[in-house]
Amino acid sequence: MVAIVLVGHSPELLRGLRAMLAQAAPAVLVSVAGGTDGGALGTSAPMILAAVRGVLAEAPDGAVVLLDLGSAALALEMALDDLVPADRARVRVSRGALVEGAVRAAVEAAGGGPLTAVLAASEVPPGHDKLPDDWPANGTAPG
């Protein structure tokens, strides 16, 4: 089963999201790397590397990584550069929105989807079917 790694600036944000994933897809292995080593807001390449290595050791099918903001990408890239090629080849980085992408990815992974399918599930555009089709356009609802 494909695992999921959540990378972000806030440990609390990722803890909450992991709890949501545990409810939606309890069988899926989810690891988080949030905040700096001292727990401040930010990202830490060594923490990201440890999280990715941790899930890869348990999940032969690989892992999809989601990040909260583009400014986490540098630390993520640095961490992935330190993986051996065989491990790096089992990692995909998602361009999807963190919360929706992670939930969709977890559900796909729980269903046994391969790495490419879990990645694709995570990259559904933000806001896709979040609101019902007959939801009134903004500014037109009776106020």
Stretch that binds other proteins, among 19-27, 66-74, 116-124, 130-138 (CB under 8 A): 66-74
Shortest distance, CB of residue 79 to other proteins, whole angstroms?
A: 9
Q: Which of 15, 71, 89, 112 binds other proteins (CB under 8 A)?
A: 71
Per DSSP, the residues of 42-83 read S--HHHHHHHHHHHHHH-TT-EEEEESSGGGHHHHHHHHHTS
What amino acid occupies position 3?
A: A
Shortest distance, CB of residue 90 to other proteins, whole angstroms?
A: 23
Shortest distance, CB of residue 24 to other proteins, whole angstroms?
A: 29
Residue 45 sits in the site that holds other proteins (CB under 8 A): yes
Site size with other proteins, rule: CB under 8 A: 19
Sign for the pseudo-dihedral over CA of 107, 90, 88, 128 = negative
**Residues constituting the chain:** 143
**Counting Cβ atoms within 10 Å, is residue 131 exposed (0-12), middle (13-18) or buried (19+)?**
exposed
Chain residues that interact with other proteins, rule: CB under 8 A: 9, 35-38, 40-47, 70-71, 74-75, 77-78
